Structure 1
Amino acid sequence: MAAQLKVTQIKSKIGGNSQQRNTLRSLGLHRIGQTVVRDDNQVNRGYVKAVAHLVKVEEVQ
């Protein structure tokens, strides 16, 4: 089974630019403390890198 990323929003998107807000929405995050599990691929890694200051990431099997 492929590795997955557990992404948790830890900071507010208020004050961020529209691209950062759209990236959080693309990841499926809508509120602080919300966690989603996404496939570990280049697209999701790019999303996480764009909003690294707003999220916490863990690798899960």
Structure 2
Amino acid sequence: MKASELRVKDTDALQKELGDLLKAHFSLRMQVATQQLTNTSQLRKTRRDIARVRTVMNERASAK
């Protein structure tokens, strides 16, 4: 997911995207804890996507 793709979305869509990413991140953390996750790079990707969404949301909040 790119920041340019996120900037096109409206605030409600960003909130939903953030919620979905947080749930996915939690699920991945649980899989790591139970040693079920084989591709640990997914954690990093999810964490960075969460940061991108939050960055775009903060940019919009500070622009107002």
Q: TM-score, normalised by structure 2?
A: 0.35
The structure having more radius of gyration, on CA atoms, is: 2
Q: Which has the higher contact order (CA 8 A, sep 6+)?
A: 1
Q: TM-score, normalised by structure 1?
A: 0.36
The structure with the largest helix share of the pair is 2
